[in-house]
Amino acid sequence: MRESLFQGMVSRCETILVDSHTGLCHVRECYHQVREEQLKILPFAAFDEVTQCVPRRPGCYLPEKFFFYPAQFWLHKNHVGLTRAVARLKIEIPDLVVVAAGNTKQNGFEPFMAILNSEGLGQHFILPGYLPVEELAWCYHHARALVMPTFFGPTNIPPLEAMALGCPLAVSNIYGMPDQCGNAALYFKPDDSADMAHVLHRLWTDDALCLDLKKKGLSRTHLYNISNFKKQVLRIVQGVCSALYS
């Protein structure tokens, strides 16, 4: 039903907005009736509500050093893969902690908890639930890094928020993520817990690396702020109107 709806919408659209070149390619592959001039790339932006708010420390206990993953517990967010990566490091890095913030009433929570309990990882994960934007911003500011092992894309918003708030990145090497994050992130295969664990180990133990990624992320924020987003929207709308009424 959803695919039929999308097919109908695509056939009637004057313009189709996608988040990245990868998203553009996906639309081309799935909807062959789309004309090239219909497709416009409009990257996501980091919302001012997060990046410009006054950060507030969450009420729950948080250690001085932690990784941060803000995501609902859907299976495609791959908390299971992150848990397996942490299991590989629990002996070598006994103080490693991941703050996994998000709604736990989704289909990925039970599999996540099953592995967490079987591997004895209770002390390595803190689950504060859904965080308001002020507490979300605080976690970005203070986290060792954002870790995002998602299977979905093409791009995602948390890396944009993290870069804007000076948080280093470790993200899935899929779809449009390398284009979105550039040299401001370390990349891993989301289905390879050993690869993910290697990246986590590097970030946990290398202060200079984290500082370098932080600087590189901040240098990219002009690409993904709301002001630039609005300018791109205006330019696209003006172009569409010009083509329609010229």
Q: What does the pLDDT read at residue 103?
A: 94
Q: How many CB atoms sit inside 10 A of residue 37's CB?
A: 11
Identify whether residues 120 and 80 lie together within a single domain.
yes
Kindly report each contact of residues 108-111 with a partner whose C-beta sits within 8 Å and lies 24 or more positions away, as own/partner.
Answer: 108/73, 108/74, 108/75, 108/76, 108/77, 108/78, 108/79, 108/80, 109/73, 109/79, 111/75, 111/80
Q: What does the pLDDT read at residue 32?
A: 81
Q: pLDDT over 90 for what percent of the chain?
A: 86
Which pLDDT band, with edges at 50, 70 and 90, does 178 fall under? very high
Expressed as residue numbers, the domain containing 120 is 48-223
* Furthest-apart CA atoms within the chain: distance in Å: 67
pLDDT tens-digit readout, 69-104? 999 999 999 999 999 999 999 999 999 999 999 999
Cα 36 to Cα 39: distance, rounded to the nearest angstrom: 6
* Residue 116's CATH number: 3.40.50.2000
pTM as predicted: 0.92
Cα 31 to Cα 27: distance, rounded to the nearest angstrom: 6
Instruction: Name every residue whose Cβ is closer than 8 Å to that of residue 29 and which is 6 or more positions away in sequence.
Output: none
Q: What does the pLDDT read at residue 6?
A: 79
Identify whether residues 232 and 218 lie together within a single domain.
no
Identify whether residues 218 and 184 lie together within a single domain.
yes
Identify whether residues 21 and 113 lie together within a single domain.
no
Identify whether residues 127 and 229 lie together within a single domain.
no
Identify whether residues 36 and 68 lie together within a single domain.
no
- Nearest partner of 111 among 77, 68, 71, judged by Cα: 77
Cα 234 to Cα 154: distance, rounded to the nearest angstrom: 23
Identify whether residues 64 and 174 lie together within a single domain.
yes
Q: What does the pLDDT read at residue 231?
A: 94
Task: Over range 173-197, report the average pLDDT.
Answer: 97
Identify whether residues 229 and 160 lie together within a single domain.
no
Q: At what angle do helices 79-89 and 193-205 cross, to 10 degrees?
A: 60
Q: What does the pLDDT read at residue 233?
A: 94
Identify whether residues 81 and 156 lie together within a single domain.
yes
Computed over its alpha carbons, how large is the radius of gyration of the chain? 20
Q: What does the pLDDT read at residue 13?
A: 86
- Total of domains in the chain: 2
